[in-house]
């Protein structure tokens, strides 16, 4: 069977926004090495899989992707299979025993050696089958990225690693301890991303609120400077850890026109006993004090959180406390995971595991509360005027796709915008539109009619 050109490379990305940045770095390095990038994996001669291994389902997805590409290789439809990222970093050379026909494994690294090794393999040269990364990745300039997001926004990593000791989490063992990227490096990257067309920068890290403490700085120092980058519309903060929150940030959230009135703060749970077992501390009373202050200081705040249900020892009373917290604060932008016992974590050895069926049922109950609140919040916007940052041009149905300041790209909801006077929305990615909400779809996304376009500098 005809084999595709091995210098024609496609990348399969799995995992979170932080891992997406790694995927973009890999793509950038491969392009620099003279490889040709294609989005069509079926046409490629080489496939790179950037894996995720945060929890069991993510690991299973990564392993399934590897198996699928190896099957294509056995069938003669593919020349080279390369596996990189978190799964390799976590299990290291054990993966070679599980997948002996993978051509190249690479730990998390600067990716230059990965790209050059792929180039050598494509040219028929012999290379080591396993590339080790540094003991701890340097928090410095990361190199050119080939962006995989719509041109309207980009993710910007502000630090690497995490110093927290959450009993369920594998991240410190995969990504290492916290290292802040220097502010001048972040600002230079921000300017490049905006120059490439990004109107919104989404700040990501394992713990964004910890940024700067190893540099003698605080997160508000960074955000205030980022918000002044010419051409930027919004800067948005994700992964804010609730402990020791930098309250100097709230005036920026409330008052700065380029700082999104949005905060992603994963609280995981509301029960003090569950949080204690998670090694996170705090509890419902502490969460309520924090939320009260947040909404007092930033009344229009859109607060997103992530929850973990089914943790060992979680009771019905614990779940009820969590549900009550969600209802009392009308939290509508909520992600919910079911606990996954991960070898090597402290919680793996805990007794009183919640049966999977019960944990899934509890997740469903949390989602029911979330969806009811989300539906009410979105329907209350009908008839109101909103701003929408366009991410995708109009498709065959004539509607553009974008998001509001209250919704993080790739995490929350979208807005479908039609032209109020024409059959086809002509707005391009990066345009900021004024629109009137006409309704919602079955997934609670907004359906809106364009009034006018506005350009902000």
* 99 shares its domain with 195: no
Which tops the pLDDT comparison, 111 or 1?
Answer: 111
* 362 shares its domain with 261: yes
- Domain end point (choices 100, 131, 162): 131
Tell me the C-alpha distance between 11 and 32, whole Å: 15
* Structural domain contains residue 1: no
* Structural domain contains residue 312: yes
- Domain end point (choices 379, 400, 432): 379
Q: Span 6-13, mean pLDDT?
A: 92
**Does 3 score more than 70 pLDDT?**
no
pLDDT, tens digit, 9 for 90 and up, residues 56-82: 888 899 999 999 999 999 998 899 999
* Structural domain contains residue 138: no
Q: Span 97-119, mean pLDDT?
A: 89
Which tops the pLDDT comparison, 139 or 209?
Answer: 209
pLDDT of the residue at 455: 47
- Domain end point (choices 78, 98, 131): 131
**Does 108 score more than 90 pLDDT?**
no
**Does 241 score more than 80 pLDDT?**
yes
* 332 shares its domain with 440: no
Q: What is the residue range of 357's domain?
A: 153-379
| CB contact set of 417 (below 8 Å; sequence gap of 6+) | 388, 390, 399, 400, 401, 402, 425, 427, 433, 435, 448, 449, 450
* Structural domain contains residue 148: no
| CB contact set of 80 (below 8 Å; sequence gap of 6+) | 6, 45, 46, 47, 73, 103, 104, 118, 121, 122
Which tops the pLDDT comparison, 237 or 166?
Answer: 237
pLDDT, tens digit, 9 for 90 and up, residues 362-415: 999 999 999 999 999 999 999 999 999 999 999 888 999 999 999 999 999 999
How many domains, the chain? 3
**Does 24 score more than 80 pLDDT?**
yes
* Structural domain contains residue 14: yes
**Cβ 140 vs Cβ 185: under 8 Å:** yes
Q: How confident is the model at residue 333 (pLDDT cuts 50, 70, 90)?
A: very high
Can you give the CATH number for the domain in which 201 is found? Answer: 3.80.30.20
* 424 shares its domain with 287: no
pLDDT of the residue at 141: 61
* 371 shares its domain with 408: no
* Structural domain contains residue 434: yes
Can you give the CATH number for the domain in which 45 is found? Answer: 3.40.50.12160
* 289 shares its domain with 340: yes
In this structure, the strands spanning 302-309 and 333-338 are parallel
pLDDT of the residue at 1: 45
**Does 109 score more than 80 pLDDT?**
no
* 175 shares its domain with 75: no
pLDDT of the residue at 262: 98
**Cβ 303 vs Cβ 331: under 8 Å:** yes
* 58 shares its domain with 102: yes
pLDDT, tens digit, 9 for 90 and up, residues 134-171: 655 555 566 788 999 999 999 999 999 888 888 888 88
pLDDT, tens digit, 9 for 90 and up, residues 414-451: 999 998 777 788 899 999 999 999 999 999 999 999 98
Structure tokens, 283: 């509890």
pLDDT of the residue at 441: 96
* 71 shares its domain with 37: yes
Structure tokens, 445: 């996304």
pLDDT of the residue at 138: 56
* Structural domain contains residue 3: no
* Structural domain contains residue 298: yes
Can you give the CATH number for the domain in which 441 is found? Answer: 2.40.50.140
Tell me what the pLDDT averaged over the chain comes to.
Answer: 91
Angle at 175 between CA 169 and CA 177, to 5 degrees: 85
pLDDT of the residue at 239: 95
* 174 shares its domain with 261: yes
Full-model pTM:
0.93
* 112 shares its domain with 230: no
Q: How confident is the model at residue 457 (pLDDT cuts 50, 70, 90)?
A: very low
* 394 shares its domain with 370: no
Residue with tokens 């309250």: 247
């Amino acid at each position: 069977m005809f084999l595709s050109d091995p210098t024609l490379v496609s990348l399969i990305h799995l995992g979170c926004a932080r891992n997406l940045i790694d995927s973009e770095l890999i793509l950038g390095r491969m392009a620099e090495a003279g490889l040709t990038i294609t989005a069509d994996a079926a046409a490629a001669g080489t496939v790179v899989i950037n894996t995720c291994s945060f929890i069991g389902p993510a690991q299973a997805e990564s392993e399934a992707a590897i198996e699928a590409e190896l099957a294509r290789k056995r069938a003669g439809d593919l020349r080279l299979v390369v596996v990189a990222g978190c799964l390799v970093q976590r299990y290291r050379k054990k993966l070679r025993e599980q997948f002996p026909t993978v051509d190249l494994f690479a730990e998390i690294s600067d990716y230059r050696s990965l790209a050059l090794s792929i180039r050598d393999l494509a040219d028929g040269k012999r290379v080591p089958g396993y590339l080790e990364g540094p003991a701890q990745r340097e928090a410095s300039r990361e190199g050119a990225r080939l962006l995989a997001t719509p041109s309207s926004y980009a993710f910007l990593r502000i630090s690497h690693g995490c110093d927290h000791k959450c009993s369920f989490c594998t991240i410190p063992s995969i990504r290492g301890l916290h290292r802040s990227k220097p502010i001048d490096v972040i600002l230079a990257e921000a300017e490049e991303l905006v120059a490439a067309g990004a109107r919104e920068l989404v700040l990501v890290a394992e713990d964004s609120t910890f940024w700067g403490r190893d540099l003698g700085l605080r997160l508000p120092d960074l955000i205030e400077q980022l918000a002044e980058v010419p051409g930027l519309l919004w800067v948005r903060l994700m992964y804010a850890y609730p402990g020791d929150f930098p309250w100097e940030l709230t005036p920026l959230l409330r008052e700065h026109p380029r700082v999104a009135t949005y905060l992603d703060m994963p609280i995981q749970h509301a029960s003090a006993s569950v949080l204690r077992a998670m090694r996170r501390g705090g509890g419902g009373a502490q969460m309520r004090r924090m939320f009260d202050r947040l909404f007092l200081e930033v009344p229009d705040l859109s607060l997103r959180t992530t929850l973990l249900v089914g943790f060992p020892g979680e009771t019905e009373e614990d779940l009820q406390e969590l549900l009550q917290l969600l209802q009392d604060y009308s939290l509508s932008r909520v992600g919910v995971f079911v606990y996954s016992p991960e070898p090597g974590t402290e919680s793996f050895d805990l007794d009183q595991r919640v049966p999977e069926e019960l944990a899934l049922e509890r997740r469903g109950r949390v989602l029911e509360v979330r969806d009811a609140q989300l539906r009410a919040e979105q329907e209350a916007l009908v008839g109101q005027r909103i701003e929408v940052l366009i991410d995708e041009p109009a498709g065959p149905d004539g509607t553009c796709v974008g998001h509001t300041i209250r919704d993080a790209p790739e995490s929350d909801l979208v807005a479908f915008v039609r032209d109020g006077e024409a059959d086809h929305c002509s707005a391009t990615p990066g345009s900021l539109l004024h629109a009137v909400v006409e309704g919602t779809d079955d997934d609670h996304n907004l359906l809106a009619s364009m009034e006018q376009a506005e350009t902000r500098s």
